[in-house]
Structure 1
Amino acid sequence: MDTINVSKDSYEKVSNVGDIVIREKKNIKLVFRPQIILENQKSPDAHIKGDLIYFRSKNKDYDSCSKVSVRELTDGQCLKITMHSDEINLLCEKISELNAIYKKSGGNSGEYIVFKSDEKLNIPEGVLENNLDILLNTLVNTKNPEKIVNVLSEMDYLGVCELNRISNLANLKKVLDMWDSLKQSDNEKLWQEKFKEYHWILSQIFCTPTLFIKDEAYVGGKTFEGTGGQYVDYIYGNNLTKNAFLIEVKTPKTKLMNSNPYRQGVYSPSSELTGAISQVLRQLDSFYKEFNTLNSGSEEMHSNNIRCVIIAGSFEDIKDNTDMLASFEKFRNELRNVEIVTYDELFEKIKTLIDILSE
């Protein structure tokens, strides 16, 4: 556990940090003197600057050493400072710690604790709670994860379960925050990328254990000229039977029902929705016809009465019209091979999981 003192410069938009000693032996000393940049207009993601200083003093009175500037070099001269690999690693590690301090406090003055994953800590009460972000970043970025695994394996079973619960809860809340910030987006490509990043979300649709197989998967249909191919957004499979599922993603803003009634009290599905259904059924037809070729004898997937799922729209747009809501439910429940799941239904399951893990 290291302590890093940060003091804000009253004149410049920086905070000063103590020297990082890179090398010290006999009569020489090599240090990096860092500063945390509080406001970097040119490079907002860059927060650390500093000086690399090489001292030479017979009596190790480094503070009284006179400064030799690189500006004193004349034409044709150069100044070379060789750093060893372990020294480079040390410098990178310390800069990473300073970046973590900036993210924690914005570089304000104070005393910060930096934890190391390979040491046993006697931590004063309250210090851990105030530096959790630095501790967790250190654990995540450790170069020897096996040590963490070994420590966890020696922990009490209930303790490991609690860590797992906390980790899952944080992941679920992160996904829910993503939904809250993007629920008004009608960018289909963005949603496809998000479900690729958090592909476990789509597994919440099914009541059986599922695994992610492929995104933007070719499911057949090309002509001799190589055109007209069908691609489905995602293929999932039953984890036990390996039976495939086809998933097509639209957006939360996809219109579910037409605004005007077809007859009194009766509403018809929107062209966006029926178009998505036709699209996924065509993908399914191509997939069946070319399954043996596409699967290439692999045991990875089977094609026994494949289910198709469309993620589209939101109840928010129809919930206040009971006739429209009833028409939608009757329509989707009559579909044989296609299941329609709205975005708010999907993320409501995430909320339920959060409630369960929070108890």
Structure 2
Amino acid sequence: MSLDHSYIIGSDDNNELMLNISGLDSCEKNVADLSANFYALCSNTGVSKFTCKLNVQNLRELHHHLSKYSIICDHESLSTGRFVEVKGNYQEVINILENTDNASLIMALQHLVSKKLTHNDINTILGRKDSLAEYEDMLKKSDQYNEPDWQKFFERNEWIFGYGLTYKYLKILQREAHVSKTDLNGANDVITDFLMSDSRYTKIVELKTPTTKLFTKRQGRSDTWFLSSELTDAVSQIIAQKANWEIESQTRNYTADGNLIREETFDAECILIIGSLSSIEGTDKEKAIKRKTLELYRRNLKNIDILFYDELLERSRYIVKSAEVIEDKLTSTLVLPE
């Protein structure tokens, strides 16, 4: 007794695509005797448009290719993203990872190792836990480190800048960037600690030390406190850097590695990292006045974000902890052989 194994695969306004598998019946037969025919018929007239005959190996290959895609196998899948298959050569994995942007790489790794490694392992692999511990130690012994020390640390760990103050991922374009022309005698060169990028626009970062004083010893009127000259001078410095870079950025500029800076500059955002909130001293009332003065001051600066070292430490802890959360919606999937 023969069984009918014909299926409608799909149709458009004009044609129907059918699949028929022949050679399947109640008697045991060699799989080589199986065959499959894909054929298309005109929906209106029933006239054949084409027929394609496949053997069982062709069907297996078709199934193999289709089964790789969750959007096909999983009826509940509602979205998809970038898909990569690795067939067994682990050099392919290395090549893929080397050419993957950071955001996609982290998300893919989270998906890949979710059943094999803990999220603590992910952070260890990324080296972030060690860097975080180093940051905490440097901050505790902040009187032993100067600006160049902090420059080198942040250059090694640009991830600490995270997704920026506006949740855009930041990367370092150039350390100690010259953002102005010099005088004819080579003087008055304006240098910022870091020229950074959010992949579209440039940003200026200026560093002072965690021990930089934020206030004087004098209280002002109307519940205010006098800010230190170290703080106001640093703001003046970054304003000058910003003004000079606005001009210099309009010409072609290159990093120390010779790469063209393609990011644009429009009213560049500036980030000043200075002092620590924990250094604020005085009575409870005096501390409250100082915190209020400081917050009002930095909120009213146009496109200049003041960030304190202990605040940046908290942001760093959050970035490390966030690796413990697997994203609900993955934009990347990395598949390794079982």
- TM-score interval, smaller chain: 0.5 to 0.7
1:263 corresponding residue in structure 2? 221
Query: For residues 157 and 190 of structure 1, do their structure 2 counterparts lie closer, same or farther at Cα, with a shift above 3 Å needed?
Result: closer
Cα root mean square deviation, aligned: 3.1
Give 1:305's match in structure 2, choosing from 254, 257, 267. Answer: 267
1:160 corresponding residue in structure 2? 113
* Cα displacement (A) at 1:157: 8.1
Give 1:219's match in structure 2, choosing from 174, 179, 189. Answer: 179
CA distance in 2, matches of 1:276, 1:185: 19
* Cα displacement (A) at 1:149: 4.3
* Cα displacement (A) at 1:274: 0.7
What percentage of residue pairs aligned between the two structures are identical? 27
Query: For residues 301 and 353 of structure 1, do their structure 2 counterparts lie closer, same or farther at Cα, with a shift above 3 Å needed?
Result: closer
Alignment gaps of 5+ in structure 1:
1-143
Q: Match of 1:300, SS?
A: coil
One-letter amino acid of the structure 2 residue matched with residue 213 of structure 1: L
CA distance in 2, matches of 1:157, 1:326: 40
* Cα displacement (A) at 1:197: 1.0
* Cα displacement (A) at 1:217: 0.6
* Cα displacement (A) at 1:175: 2.0
Q: Match of 1:292, SS?
A: coil
* Cα displacement (A) at 1:196: 0.8
1:181 corresponding residue in structure 2? 137
Q: Note the alpha carbon deviations across 1:310-343, whole angstroms, 9 max, x for none.
A: 0011110127511111110001101013110011
Q: Which runs of structure 2 are paired with 1:283-294 in the superposition (5 Å)?
A: 283-294=241-252
Q: Match of 1:348, SS?
A: helix
Q: Note the alpha carbon deviations across 1:97-123, whole angstroms, 9 max, x for none.
A: xxxxxxxxxxxxxxxxxxxxxxxxxxx
CA contact (8 A) 2:216 2:228 kept: yes
* Cα displacement (A) at 1:301: 1.7
TM-score (norm 1): 0.53
Give 1:169's match in structure 2, choosing from 108, 120, 123. Answer: 123
CA distance in 2, matches of 1:227, 1:181: 38
2:157 corresponding residue in structure 1? 198
* Cα displacement (A) at 1:306: 0.6
1:146 corresponding residue in structure 2? 91
Q: Note the alpha carbon deviations across 1:239-293, whole angstroms, 9 max, x for none.
A: 2xx2110000111111122232122621122111111111111111111122223
One-letter amino acid of the structure 1 residue matched with residue 156 of structure 2: E
CA distance in 1, matches of 2:246, 2:266: 10
1:253 corresponding residue in structure 2? 211
One-letter amino acid of the structure 1 residue matched with residue 271 of structure 2: V
CA contact (8 A) 2:136 2:313 kept: no
Q: Match of 1:179, SS?
A: helix
Give 2:309's match in structure 1, choosing from 320, 326, 343. Answer: 343
2:329 corresponding residue in structure 1? none
CA contact (8 A) 1:204 1:349 kept: no
CA distance in 2, matches of 1:159, 1:357: 13
TM-score (norm 2): 0.56
CA distance in 1, matches of 2:133, 2:201: 32
2:320 corresponding residue in structure 1? 354
Query: For residues 156 and 267 of structure 1, do their structure 2 counterparts lie closer, same or farther at Cα, with a shift above 3 Å needed?
Result: closer
Query: For residues 354 and 237 of structure 1, do their structure 2 counterparts lie closer, same or farther at Cα, with a shift above 3 Å needed?
Result: closer
Query: For residues 167 and 212 of structure 1, do their structure 2 counterparts lie closer, same or farther at Cα, with a shift above 3 Å needed?
Result: farther
* Cα displacement (A) at 1:358: 4.3
2:33 corresponding residue in structure 1? none
Count of equivalent residues: 212
Q: Which runs of structure 2 are paired with 1:47-58 in the superposition (5 Å)?
A: none
Alignment gaps of 5+ in structure 2:
1-88, 98-107, 326-338
2:288 corresponding residue in structure 1? 322
- When structure 1 is superposed on structure 2, of 206-215 and 323-332 the one drifting more is 206-215
Query: For residues 195 and 227 of structure 1, do their structure 2 counterparts lie closer, same or farther at Cα, with a shift above 3 Å needed?
Result: same
Q: Note the alpha carbon deviations across 1:2-56, whole angstroms, 9 max, x for none.
A: xxxxxxxxxxxxxxxxxxxxxxxxxxxxxxxxxxxxxxxxxxxxxxxxxxxxxxx
CA distance in 2, matches of 1:317, 1:281: 25
1:16 corresponding residue in structure 2? none
Q: Match of 1:258, SS?
A: strand
One-letter amino acid of the structure 1 residue matched with residue 223 of structure 2: G
CA distance in 2, matches of 1:295, 1:277: 25
One-letter amino acid of the structure 2 residue matched with residue 174 of structure 1: D
* Cα displacement (A) at 1:236: 1.1
CA distance in 2, matches of 1:314, 1:168: 30
CA contact (8 A) 1:258 1:268 kept: yes
Q: Match of 1:260, SS?
A: strand
One-letter amino acid of the structure 2 residue matched with residue 286 of structure 1: N
CA distance in 1, matches of 2:109, 2:224: 59
CA distance in 1, matches of 2:190, 2:110: 48
- When structure 1 is superposed on structure 2, of 293-302 and 268-277 the one drifting more is 293-302
* Cα displacement (A) at 1:295: 2.6
Query: For residues 267 and 169 of structure 1, do their structure 2 counterparts lie closer, same or farther at Cα, with a shift above 3 Å needed?
Result: same
